[in-house]
Amino acid sequence: MAANPEFMNEATVSFNLDGESVTAYPGETILQTAQRLGKEIPHLCYKEGLRPDGNCRACVVEIEGERTLAPSCCRMPTEGMTIQTQSERAVKSQKMVLELLKSDMPQQGKSPYKRDSELDIWADKLDVGTPRFPSRKQPESDLSHPAIAVNLDACIQCTRCVRACREEQMNDVIGYANRGAHSEIVFDMGDPMGASSCVACGECVQACPTGALMPAGGVGLEVPEKTVDSTCPYCGVGCLIRYHVKDNKILYTEGRDGDTNHFRMCVKGRYGFNYIHNPLRLTKPLIRREGVAKTTELLDPNDLDKVFREASWEEALEFAANGLKNIRDNKGKKALAGLGSAKGSNEEAYLFQKLVRTGFGSNNVDHCTRLCHASSVVALLECLGSGAVSNPVEDVKKAEVIIIIGSNPTVNHPVAATFMKNAAANGTKIILIDPNRTAIAKYATHVLQFRPDTDVALLNGIMHVILDENLQNDDYIAKHTEDFEALRIHLKQYSPEKVAPICGIDPDTIREVARLYATSKASMILWGMGVSQHIHGTDNARCLISLALMTGQIGRPGTGLHPLRGQNNVQGASDVGLIPMVYPDYEPVDNPDYQKKYEQLWKTTLDPERGLTTVEMLHAILNGEVFGMYIEGENPAMSDPNQNHAREALAKLEHLVVQDIFLTETAGFADVILPASAFYEKTGTFSNTDRRVQMGRQAVTPPGDAKQDLWIIQEIAKRLGCDWNYSGPKDVFNEMRQAMSSIAGMTWERLEQEDSLTYPLEKEGDPGQPIIFTDGFPTASGRGKFVPAPYIHADEMPDDEFPWIFITGRQLEHWHTGSMTRHSPTLDAIEPDPVVTVHPDDLEKMGVKAGELITIESRRGKISAYARADLGIQPGCLFMAFCYNEASANLITNEALDPAAKIPEFKFCAVKTQPGGQLPPRIN
Amino acid sequence: MLIVGKAYNLEEIRVAVIKISPEQIKTKKRRGPKGHAVDLSALEDVRNLLGDESRQRDLLIEHLHKIQDHYHHISAKHLVALAHEMNLSPAEVYEVASFYHHFDVVPEGQAAPPELTVRVCESLSCSMAGAEDLIQSLEDGLDGKVRVQRVPCVGRCQHAPVAVVGQNPVDQATCNSVIETVQKKAVTAPVSDYISIEQYKADQGYQTLKKLMEGQISEESIIKKMEDSGLRGLGGAGFPAGRKWRIVKGFKGPRLMAVNIDEGEPGTFKDRHYLERDPHRFLEGMLIAALTVGCDEIYIYLRDEYAGCRQILQRELAALAANPPTDKYRLPPIHLRRGAGAYICGEESAMVESIEGKRGMPRLRPPFLAEVGLFGRPTLEHNMESVYWVRDIVEKGPDWFSSHGRNGRKGLRSFSVSGRVKKPGVHLAPAGITVKELIDEYCGGMLDGHSFYGYFPGGASGGILPASMGDIPLDFDTLNPHGCFIGSAAVIIFSDQDKARNLALNAMKFFEEESCGQCTPCRVGTAKAAELMQQKNWNQSLLEELSSVMVDASICGLGQAAPNPLRCVIKYFPEELK
């Protein structure tokens, strides 16, 4: 909190409350003042965090000199006002309101849906007895949604759900329809919730005072044994969440306050936890039966027993470690590789990379950042000397202009998207640059639906206008940057007129956007995989960096560069060195100074050469260079491009150790499978997209014989000759602090206390720095560097035979390869089938009706999926998530790599389509 | 098939959840994104209807009218298309469309209502004149191509009972006259003979406005005259007009003006009366007010039931724009906005919400509209009749207005008289006249065979008084001690053939239907009160307790005034409750 908040300068208000002279702080309502002073006034439609609406009238008070009573939740006291909250007249109305509402509750009694209905609590406190009025005709239940039960017979029409849905999350699904006594809460147009546009963020459930909206299945009535404050296992936003636990099961969740999410959550975080209770969880170590050959086919879980046998931990660990050791000792250190996980904690990631570097003896360690923001990080390191975001997401509210490019935040960072929408509602201009018109477009002032693959041309065009119209920030350029001249010359050839036909955006729009961005008081850029997953992903990011540098839109609140991180700990996993070219804190492995530093810290010798990246590892297997792998919590058999090739590589491995919570597609290729822990089953720290290191706490124990990952990694390491003895995550964290100056001042104890700390935090007691680059950059020269990016095409352009553009990404309910979310009965029920989104005009041309199967084929593979019509998709493009093993999008994708970052081109390849097709059965 | 009273059928509306099987949901998910997919042909329909008109949010109700007018209902697919076109969510559009009675939203898979609707007024005066029998006989007599709907007051109470065929009102309606009108397909509203702009100008009209625009009269002198005249707002609340002008002018611009012609209080039809005769006197007064106070734009909100008046205003606003009082200065933009069947929009802040294209839900005050009004700007809000008198007051002087009056009161009042009198209609009479004087001097006495039993002094919400209290001067403030008010001066006279408790129940049901649904005391209170009042024996103490809370704790005047008739019955007609 700031030392001198703005409101401290405003005047307080003195007034008389129930005969006492009291003082209201600036901005405080009568109700808030009374609450602060420990007075109780009944209230139902008022909820902290939501706009007060004053509709229920339970909180009415008597103000001297006023004809009627006033709602204390909405009224500001004025100087000298005399207010009675408990006069006979006020209490009469308060009680009558409660009685009227209670008369329309089921059986005129307590809410049957919620243990602590606020109406029941207040009715009890004010001694409201059996209602004297007849009941209304009650509406029927709506149980059409897998996650949320709607029982409007308990609805008191306080509209908290409406405000939560429309004003807080801004999903705009819930309405208050009809009029008078017919008024009712509706979804869309009175639709069943399950058939509505509801995204199941659950904010309405969290807001509902009476249980009219509750988690499905009646879990709200159960009494939890304990609550655990932790975070979320899904995206990089890293929402703070409270888990309610009973019988070693998570019952339900609740958003917590904090800058990360302010109580908000999305469908995955709120309802998607139940994958951990899926009976398909791995609970015993498994060893491949002798003589069972590996094929490129995915393993059908029904055949599990034919392929694997159960083993004791001791046997499995020995088997796993010996296999690795034999290869290391016989074929060389570089014959091994490790894939760690951005789903694991910082501590797990740190130990995993340390294991590879010290136990395997090479830098052949990587994780899914390679498939995600590798190009962004490469460009940021190259130009700014740091791969992290410059400003937190919450800075959108301080920005005048936000560019959202190549990111679908309502789907992939839903809670962050709510802050963007809130900003737009407050007047911030959103410029959406994306080949698809995604949901956030509704809040954008400018939507640039440009041709896929033409980012560099468009961004160069925007920068051309800035220079052409002399809108650049010369002072900033002179003071904080270098190599500007090269960029200036480079940009000359990118006039709007020249790039317009390339990217399909008219020159005037390009000019307008350039002016808006350059001249606003604070402009911020947020981007996602649409920028990074191209063979020119690094160039795309370089352009964004140049744009911010040339306008000086960086280093201040509401400005900067924010690559929205995908995984909950992709930031942390990268920070702690789970990548082949750097040690923790991005210290290059090929720099002898750093090599020496880590050799001293880890008491061993280290390989001075960079290791292999994810896709390179698979190539190396096929080239006979890598023979053994340890894959912890990753699923390359689904996530890597050109899967036939990837699966061929996995099948060729001599020894594959897979550590996971389910029999993933990758696990089927393993020689030994180690049953591991899910997020909720362990404690550790996780670094979110804002550089906040947050405490994830164990809520339940792993099922069966499954073990925590930190233990498993350590057991493997010991068997590879590492002399490790970490008693838990705290020990590991303390070692990380020694290695990493960025978190040197962060103590485990403070993390336990505050739950969320932002780095850089170099000295103990520092507040942390949400905004970096405030005065230059951590580069050798201290300056940000302009790197011109020429426009190039995707690796595989559409042609007569393969005329369509195929783009992959994610869906709201499904996480990456689906290993978590498709095992969550709730999320799976909301999005059960593989769909490919197509523009309705294209469907008509194909002669296909929406909802029918179509077949998509590239030079690499062929799949079939249901055609979902969507006006937001660009004609000529197909979009698909890569989570469906029965229609795996990565069978289609192209493994061509960005030369600098080695990230594959998931966002563009050429395909052909035909109506119809066969959908093979899904493999669980 | 004859659909009767659909918009008022609580049972049908409440249980809105459409049944859908899990399998249907699954199929739906394969077809499109969550929610309703935009139907491309419906989108084209909507685009054609909207043409190149702005898609700005505040035009939502206007655009909904275009669809309703064209298709005689609003199908789900058109609603979704309109939402898409206006960059709104379906929920935002649906909640607005479903709030207003004149929009027939038809969910997917449900049959549209018949193209033609006959609306039969069932409010107080029409009810006394036999609306119920008329509805019964129309239900029997009309074939299935017509929908008969019970509706609240349509503002033609002197012609009770009234039915409206399409937009064509049938006065003193009988089953035969309505059926004949239906058969003739006479569904548009006739336009009355009125003073044209030429005639108005020939009679020195627009000279005062011209002088004001050209700086020959000072704004201050006009405000002074308004203050001195003692004119109080004639919409019902009676706030002194001159003081209001000064207050609004005191707030920093840009300011707006909003004129309330949502004349919906049962028994009231004076605004229509003046509009149908002398529209330019109103327009000139409105413009004088706007220019004096410094309002940049004017919004006129006209109730949808007044289709004839709408044509007059459309025509005459165009005529005025083509023929302004002076060429030297531009008139402020005047927007004519159409209500959609909601009594609550006569409440000033609900009207402002409705002009903004939203549901007509009254705002909490403070802040008051004078400071934070339409589109968040300081707003001068006036009833139509209030500005209608401005020209006369400015030209004839404040004394002209204040010199009228009786029984110690000052000014003129336009009484809308209906019920059991010989000459119902708008009677311009001195303020302070008693109801007995009004009946005798202006209304030709009671109808034959009827003896004066009681009266509503101010529409459905102003309470009920017995004949024995017929000597109270009718004006602002004079009725308050008796639990009544004059409001819009809609005096409804009833006789020994009527029952006060039945009329009070009629009023309570009206409030129940017309409550916006926002606050508990009104939304639930009116419904519970109406139920209790239908019981043979009234639970008087509970009704009284409920009434006092509705008065104390409701957000707006609707809920606060709704118990007036009920309380008056308990107080003044106790014998009816025995």
Q: For B352-371, write each residue's pLDDT tens digit.
A: 999 999 999 999 999 999 99
As a whole number of angstroms, the distance between CA B516 and CA B343 comes to 9
As a whole number of angstroms, the distance between CA A866 and CA A857 comes to 14
How confident is the model over A292-312, as pLDDT tens digits? 999 999 998 889 999 999 999
Closest CA–CA distance from residue B376 to any residue of chain A (Å): 14
pLDDT at A586: 94
Task: Count the residues in chain B.
Answer: 578
Q: Which residue of A has its CA nearest to B543?
A: A133
As a whole number of angstroms, the distance between CA A650 and CA A627 comes to 10
As a whole number of angstroms, the distance between CA A480 and CA A490 comes to 20
- How do B425-430 and B412-419 pair as beta strands? antiparallel
Q: Which of B30, B521, B554 sits opposite A833 (nearest CB)?
A: B30
**Strand blocks (E) in A168-283:** 174-177, 184-187, 213-215, 226-230, 241-246, 249-255
Contact call for residues B321 and B313 (beta carbons, < 8 A): no
Whether residue A140 and residue B524 make contact (CB cut-off 8 A), yes or no, is no
**In the predicted model, what is the mean pLDDT of residues A677-683?**
98
**In the predicted model, what is the mean pLDDT of residues A503-528?**
98
pLDDT band at B144 (very low <50, low <70, confident <90, very high): confident
Angle (CA) A546 A552 A553, round 5°: 85
What percentage of chain A carries pLDDT values higher than 90?
A: 97
- Chain B residues with CB-CB distance to A194 below 8 A: 20, 22, 25
As a whole number of angstroms, the distance between CA A826 and CA A149 comes to 13
- If we measure between CA atoms, which residue out of A822, A664, A823 comes closest to residue A304? A664
Instruction: Please provide the DSSP assignment of A535-572 as one string.
Output: TTHHHHHHHHHHHHHHHT-SSSTT-EEEE---BTTHHH
What residue type is assigned to position A84 of the chain? Answer: Q
pLDDT at A197 over 70: yes
- Chain B residues with CB-CB distance to A156 below 8 A: 520
- If we measure between CA atoms, which residue out of B307, B298, B301, B440 comes closest to residue B379? B298
Element (H, E) at B256: strand B255-261
Q: Tokens in use for A778?
A: 């951590």
Enumerate the β-bridge partners of residue A658: A631, A673
Q: Does B528 touch chain A (CB under 8 A)?
A: yes
Element (H, E) at B428: strand B425-430
Alpha carbon A285 to chain centroid, angstroms: 31
Contact call for residues B471 and B455 (beta carbons, < 8 A): no
Peptide bond into A5 cis (omega under 30): no
Contact call for residues B434 and B473 (beta carbons, < 8 A): yes
3-class secondary structure, A323: helix
pLDDT band at A6 (very low <50, low <70, confident <90, very high): low
Greater model confidence, B6 or A912: A912
How confident is the model over B501-542, as pLDDT tens digits? 999 999 999 999 999 999 999 999 999 999 999 999 999 999
- Chain B residues with CB-CB distance to A195 below 8 A: 18, 20, 24-25, 28
Q: Which of A60, A101, A150, A179 to mutate to test the interface with B (most CBs of B within 10 A)?
A: A179
Whether residue B35 and residue A194 make contact (CB cut-off 8 A), yes or no, is no
User: Judging by beta carbons within 10 Å of its beta carbon (0-12, 13-18, 19+), is residue B216 exposed, middle or buried?
Assistant: exposed
Residue A876's φ and ψ, nearest 5 degrees, are 90, -5
How confident is the model over B375-420, as pLDDT tens digits? 999 999 999 999 999 999 999 999 999 999 999 999 999 999 999 9
pLDDT at B17 over 50: no
Contacts of B176 (CB under 8 A, 6+ apart): none
As a whole number of angstroms, the distance between CA A411 and CA A890 comes to 20
- Chain B residues with CB-CB distance to A837 below 8 A: 33
Contact call for residues A229 and A179 (beta carbons, < 8 A): no
pLDDT at B8: 36
Using alpha carbons, list the distances in angstroms from residue A464 to A71, A484, A506: 56, 13, 14
What residue type is assigned to position A384 of the chain? Answer: L
**In the predicted model, what is the mean pLDDT of residues B345-349?**
97
- How do B255-261 and B379-383 pair as beta strands? parallel
Contact call for residues A553 and A671 (beta carbons, < 8 A): no
Contact call for residues B265 and B507 (beta carbons, < 8 A): no
- Chain B residues with CB-CB distance to A71 below 8 A: 364
Averaged pLDDT score across all residues of chain A: 96
Closest CA–CA distance from residue A239 to any residue of chain B (Å): 24
pLDDT band at B108 (very low <50, low <70, confident <90, very high): confident
The packing angle between helices B540-553 and B520-534, to 10°, is: 160
pLDDT at A738 over 50: yes
pLDDT at A465 over 80: yes
Whether residue B555 and residue A192 make contact (CB cut-off 8 A), yes or no, is no
Q: Which of A69, A136, A172 sits opposite B92 (nearest CB)?
A: A172
- If we measure between CA atoms, which residue out of A688, A375, A408 comes closest to residue A527? A408
pLDDT at B9: 38
Q: Tokens in use for A198?
A: 């509801």
Q: Which of A178, A187, A831 sits opposite B99 (nearest CB)?
A: A178
Whether residue A190 and residue B542 make contact (CB cut-off 8 A), yes or no, is no
**In the predicted model, what is the mean pLDDT of residues A335-354?**
98
pLDDT at B2: 31
- If we measure between CA atoms, which residue out of A522, A518, A520, A517 comes closest to residue A399? A522
ipTM: 0.95
pLDDT band at A699 (very low <50, low <70, confident <90, very high): very high
Contact call for residues B11 and A137 (beta carbons, < 8 A): yes
3-class secondary structure, B458: coil
Whether residue B10 and residue A869 make contact (CB cut-off 8 A), yes or no, is no
Whether residue B95 and residue A96 make contact (CB cut-off 8 A), yes or no, is no
Which of the residue ranges A41-55, A334-348, B6-20 would you say has the lowest mean pLDDT?
B6-20
Contact call for residues A355 and A324 (beta carbons, < 8 A): no
pLDDT at B351: 98
Contact call for residues B265 and B153 (beta carbons, < 8 A): yes
**In the predicted model, what is the mean pLDDT of residues A387-392?**
94
pLDDT at B11 over 50: no
Contact call for residues A683 and A696 (beta carbons, < 8 A): yes
Whether residue A179 and residue B514 make contact (CB cut-off 8 A), yes or no, is yes
- How do A784-785 and A481-482 pair as beta strands? parallel
Q: Tokens in use for A203?
A: 């904010």
Element (H, E) at B503: helix B500-514
Contact call for residues A839 and A869 (beta carbons, < 8 A): yes
Q: What is the CA radius of gyration of chain A?
A: 29
What separation, in Å, do the N-terminal and C-terminal C-alpha atoms of chain B show?
43
Contact call for residues A288 and A671 (beta carbons, < 8 A): yes
pLDDT at B5 over 70: no
**In the predicted model, what is the mean pLDDT of residues B63-74?**
97
**In the predicted model, what is the mean pLDDT of residues A504-516?**
98
How confident is the model over A641-672, as pLDDT tens digits? 999 999 999 999 999 999 999 999 999 999 99
As a whole number of angstroms, the distance between CA B451 and CA B431 comes to 25
Does the pTM of the predicted model rise above 0.90?
Answer: yes
Residue A63's φ and ψ, nearest 5 degrees, are -110, 125
Instruction: Please provide the DSSP assignment of A110-136 as one string.
Output: S-SS-TT-HHHHHHHHTT--S--SPPP
Residue B204's φ and ψ, nearest 5 degrees, are 70, 15
Q: Tokens in use for B491?
A: 């005096």
**In the predicted model, what is the mean pLDDT of residues A506-512?**
98
pLDDT at B21: 85
> What is the side-by-side order of every strand in the sheet holding B168-170?
B146-151, B116-121, B163-165, B168-170
pLDDT at A10 over 90: no
How many Cβ atoms sit within 10 Å of the Cβ of residue A715? 20
